[in-house]
Amino acid sequence: MTAVTPLTAVTTLSAVTTAERPAAPTRHLIDDVTVAVLAAGTPAPYTTRELPGGLVALDVSAPEGTPLEIRLASPLRDAVGFWHPACGWERSLLPDWAGRMRTSLVNGAAVGCLYQTSGATLLAFAAEDPLAETEVVFGVSEQSRTFVVHLHPVARAAPYTLVLAPRSASVAAALRRLRAHLRGHAPITPLPTPETAWAPVYSTWYAFGQNVTAAEVEEEAELAAGLGCGVLILDDGWQEYGTKRGYAWAGDWTVDTAKFPDLAGHVARVRATGMSYLAWIAPLLLGPESRAYPRLAHLAPVASPTGPGAYVLDPRVPEVREHVVATCVRLIRDYGLDGLKIDFLDDAGVYSGAGAAMADLLGALRAALPAGSMIELRQPYLGHGMAAYGNLLRATDCPADATANRVRTIDAGLLALGGAVHSDMLMWDPEATPAWAARQLLSVLQAVPQISNRLTEMRADHREWLAFWLRQWERLRPVLLDGDVEPGRPDELYPVISARTGDREVIVLHADRVAAVDLSHREIDLVNVTAADRIVIEVSQGAADVQETVYDARGRLVGTRSRSLRPGVTVLTVPPSGLVSLRIADPRRAGSGAPSS
């Protein structure tokens, strides 16, 4: 049996600042970025390659197991922020003695972008290999007055390749270039995404918590299907002992028959509404109160850092991988599920070198799944390597926090190689005004929304806004999800999100900013997610006659008018959480019309 060595601490780096490390020869790499490479603490050879689209690849080879250090440095210029997949709320410029992250297959990725006030990038990089566990040190070097990134992987059999994008107009533009490259060099093709993965979801978690029953879920499913939801996710609470928070009970994954006397029949009834059905599971967690604990305890020596009361099964052990795959396949087979919401995979990081083992585990699960299965993953395990194993990519939990949901869905989309990016489940105060409540959905228009409020108890005006905005989301989806999305600067938390494709443009304003409107688009929709009753737009060039149609948060028609747009600033009256649709007059495009209310 494989030894179960826990990861007891993050790698300790002796120097406090990057300037205190041994000097190494540097050379120009791309734009103003320089590079130095060390293997086992001494300067090491490397090669560079030019790639399509102006990208540059840096290849480092060393005997397997050799500690590597790749040092990147950029002049500060007008730098204001550094983005990486796990940056959370730390999006400004940290000092190099504070910037630390550890990446693996199930925790972020070795990807980063340094950007300046205009939003343009100064440095943008991505490691090709998602399995290489990498310690990343980054920040402003006080001594050299530069921004530095030091990556510390361990050499594997294949060269370690870092890909850098040239200066780009925005972080989103740079990451589009890097994503295009990574998509063509992924070790496994992304898990196919069925069409239903792009449909709105009804989740039981915030709506019910663990107090969930078959009858109540079926009642909610009927209403959710009527609103256009295509997936139902049964969250925590369906399993035996799932009546209290904490995970000391985890490990058996058997049905609580008091809540679900016939789970397979229940699933079939929900699927008859047209919705697919997923169930929640945390297969790496093992609690001491479970029946499975005496049999599996020796395979779970380390306590879960995020699941209170549970231990973490060690995925490096073949027996664990076989157990997890068998458990997941059993649930899908026995109850007719369309897939699973798989939670707590990042806990595997408590074991050193677990990344490759998780790839083996998830690869075996993928091979065992029925064709068309849906697997939901969530931050922080949404790095580019996980595209092979999940096709619903969800923002991590942020109940009722519209700002966090906006930021996290954008962050997830910036690195997604496949699958559908989903919001965290949406909940709101049942006594809120429709405009307040609607902001929860409007903040995640660029993702697939997951609804988690009790529909059977919802006020009539809340049903109105929800139905209206789900219809609008469906109409705008081809632009917001498939178009080129420009969300703005990460440190500003993406205040204005624009998306363009073909002759359509959608602009979603989360702050009272001036929105730049491009009159070359024939259909322009602007969403007011602010508390103001106006939207300010600016036309830089050109002119057009437009038909303007305004709706409030509940989808009630506020008014229509014809107006002429000319270069300069124009104020549009739009209620909070309302919509204004501009249709540019063009006899050749008659009939494009305003959106259905």
CA 358 to chain centroid, in Å, comes to 19
For the sheet with 79-83, list strands across it. 47-50, 56-60, 160-164, 121-127, 111-116, 79-83
| Length of the chain, in residues | 597
Cα–Cα distance between 426 and 249 in angstroms, integer? 27
Cα–Cα distance between 445 and 464 in angstroms, integer? 17
The full 3-state SS of 202-219, as one line of letters, equals EECHHHHCCCCCHHHHHH
Q: Residue 309 — left, alpha, or beta (φ > 0 → left; ψ -120 to 50 → alpha)?
A: left
What's the token pair of residue 280? 């929640």
**Helices (H), ranges, 416-546:** 434-442, 460-480
SS3 state at 199: coil
Cα–Cα distance between 416 and 179 in angstroms, integer? 8
For residue 592, what pLDDT is reported?
38
For residue 595, what pLDDT is reported?
55
Contact present, 585 and 592 (Cβ < 8 Å): no
CA angle 211, 216, 221 (to 5 degrees): 120
CA 364 to chain centroid, in Å, comes to 24
For residue 590, what pLDDT is reported?
33
Cα–Cα distance between 324 and 316 in angstroms, integer? 12
Contact present, 378 and 415 (Cβ < 8 Å): no
Phi–psi pair at 276, nearest 5 degrees: -80, 160
Phi–psi pair at 268, nearest 5 degrees: -60, -40
Q: Which of 179, 174, 184, 175 is CA-nearest to residue 31?
A: 174
- Contacts of residue 214, Cβ cutoff 8 Å, sequence gap at least 6: 259, 260, 261, 262, 263, 266
**Helices (H), ranges, 23-73:** none
For residue 593, what pLDDT is reported?
42
Per-residue pLDDT of the chain (597 residues; tens, 9 = 90+): 444 455 433 344 568 999 999 999 999 999 999 999 999 999 999 999 999 999 999 999 999 999 999 999 999 999 999 999 999 999 999 999 999 999 999 999 999 999 999 999 999 999 999 999 999 999 999 999 999 999 999 999 999 999 999 999 999 999 999 999 999 887 789 999 999 999 999 999 999 999 999 999 999 999 999 999 999 999 999 999 988 889 999 999 999 999 999 999 999 999 999 999 999 999 999 999 999 999 999 999 999 999 999 999 999 999 999 999 999 999 999 999 999 999 999 999 999 989 999 999 999 999 999 999 999 999 999 999 999 999 999 999 999 999 999 999 999 999 999 999 999 999 999 999 999 999 999 999 999 999 999 999 999 999 999 999 999 999 999 999 999 999 999 999 999 999 999 999 999 999 999 999 999 999 999 999 999 999 999 999 889 999 999 999 999 999 999 999 999 999 999 999 999 999 998 633 433 344 544
Strand ranges in 236-390 using DSSP code E only, listed in sequence order: 276-281, 285-286, 302-303, 311-312, 339-342, 374-378
For residue 587, what pLDDT is reported?
36
Torsion of CA 176, 177, 179, 183, to 10 degrees: 130
For residue 242, what pLDDT is reported?
84
From residue 394, give the alpha-carbon distance in Å to each of 142, 202, 450, 577: 37, 13, 9, 24
SS3 state at 409: helix
Count CA atoms closer than 13 A to 546's CA, side-chain side.
Answer: 27
For residue 5, what pLDDT is reported?
53
Cα–Cα distance between 451 and 223 in angstroms, integer? 12
Cα–Cα distance between 114 and 170 in angstroms, integer? 10
For residue 2, what pLDDT is reported?
44
pTM of the model: 0.94
What's the token pair of residue 389? 């194993």
| DSSP one-letter code for 288 | T
Q: Which of 171, 142, 133, 155 is CA-nearest to residue 410?
A: 171
Cα–Cα distance between 399 and 571 in angstroms, integer? 34
Count CA atoms closer than 13 A to 63's CA, side-chain side.
Answer: 2
**Helices (H), ranges, 378-433:** 402-415
Ordered domains of the chain (ranges, CATH): 18-184 (no CATH), 195-476 (3.20.20.70), 486-589 (2.60.40)
